[in-house]
Amino acid sequence: MKEYRLKHKGYAVRYHEFPGAEPPLVMIHGLGCASSFEYPGVVTQPPLAARRTILIDMLGAGYSDKPIDFGYSVEDHAAYLNEMLTALNLNDIILFGHSLGGAVAIVLAVLLQDRLRQLILTESNLDPSPAGATSRKIASYSKEDFLAKGYAHLLSRAQKRNPLWAATFAGWLPEAAWHISRSAVRGGTPSWRDVLYNLQKPKSFFIGELSLPEASDPELSNHGVRVELIPSAGHAMALENPAVLAERIASVIADAFR
């Protein structure tokens, strides 16, 4: 585990770095998750084991600092990650983002400009959170009510229904979950979908087979986004089928560098 301390207030963003061949693969997790938990089992699979990879726990989650006075919007996360990746002198970045972390990755992709080589998304937020989404449920609370009872209620339900996700959500700062969920409900301006469509870089979008038909999105292919289906997996594909996810990541990377 390594850390990068942000210039303004010194908050520590902690990350795993696996040595290997360039260019680097940088992975960003979703709401309630942690890269340190989800992705070691992916990047150590044979198709990715020889590549340099950086697994980032965002502020408010995992092993990173959890400051109360941070904004935690999608744009806030993208801004400090841009600072961090610049300070680490990373170039030709292959950027991976899952779920709400995908929205962070889309915004970050624009900030990286020529330092970005490729964008890979897994069931990323592209539009404001729909009804039924966890982020919309969280954002439906006032901040006070979420801190007083909503977080504990959601965590208790998750521990019974989705214990692996609950294990990482238990490590989140509740304020961080509420603020980024409110950001998810607002959506981006311009929309994350439009930003993705206008991004002039190789871009892929992975969908879990078990997420269909709800996760199907025919417009993606029409806008130059490569769509891949991960079999025997749903939204949590990094935990449900890490071997195939690693193989598909390696495949789209190889195609982009031909």
In tens digits, the chain (258 residues) has pLDDT values of: 999 999 989 999 999 999 999 999 999 999 999 999 999 999 999 999 999 999 999 999 999 999 999 999 999 999 999 999 999 999 999 999 999 999 999 999 999 999 999 999 999 999 999 999 999 999 999 999 999 999 999 999 999 999 999 999 999 999 999 999 999 999 999 999 999 999 999 999 999 999 999 889 999 999 999 999 999 999 999 999 999 999 999 999 999 887
DSSP-assigned beta bridge partners for residue 146: none
pLDDT at residue 59, as a whole number: 98
Neighbour tally for 164: CB within 10 Å: 14
- Helix-, strand-, coil-residue percentages of the chain, each rounded to 5: 45, 20, 35
CB 35 within 8 A of CB 168: no
Burial 107-129 (b: 16+ CB within 10 A, else e): bbbebbeebbbbbbbbbbbbebb
Count CB-CB contacts under 10 A for residue 2: 11
Cα gap 246→252, rounded to integer Å = 10
Other C-beta atoms closer than 10 Å to the C-beta of 199 total: 17
- In angstroms, the CA 90 to CA 21 distance is 13
* Residues linked to residue 25 through DSSP beta bridges, in sequence order: 53, 94
Rounded distance between C-alpha atoms, residue 14 and residue 2, angstroms: 6
| 197: phi then psi, degrees, rounded to nearest 5 | -60, -35
Give yes or no for a contact between 210 and 237, defined as CB atoms under 8 angstroms apart: no
- The secondary structure element, H or E, covering residue 146 is none
Residue 228 has which token pair?
């891949």
What is the per-residue pLDDT for 123?
98
Distance CA 30, CA 37 (A): 12
Q: Say if CB 119 and CB 249 are below 8 A apart.
A: no
Residue 119: what pLDDT? 98
Query: Residue 108, Cα to own-chain centre: how many angstroms?
Result: 11
Q: Angle at CA 84, nearest 5°, toward 236 and 13?
A: 60
Q: Per residue, what are the HEC states of 197-229?
A: HHCCCCEEEEEEHHHCCCCCCCHHHHCCCEEEE
Q: What is the largest CA-CA distance in the chain?
A: 53
Contact 34, 62 (CB under 8 A): yes
Q: Name the residue with tokens 């749903």.
A: 234
19 CB neighbour count, 10 Å cutoff:
8
Task: Tell me the domains of the chain and their CATH numbers.
Answer: 2-129+186-256 (3.40.50.1820)
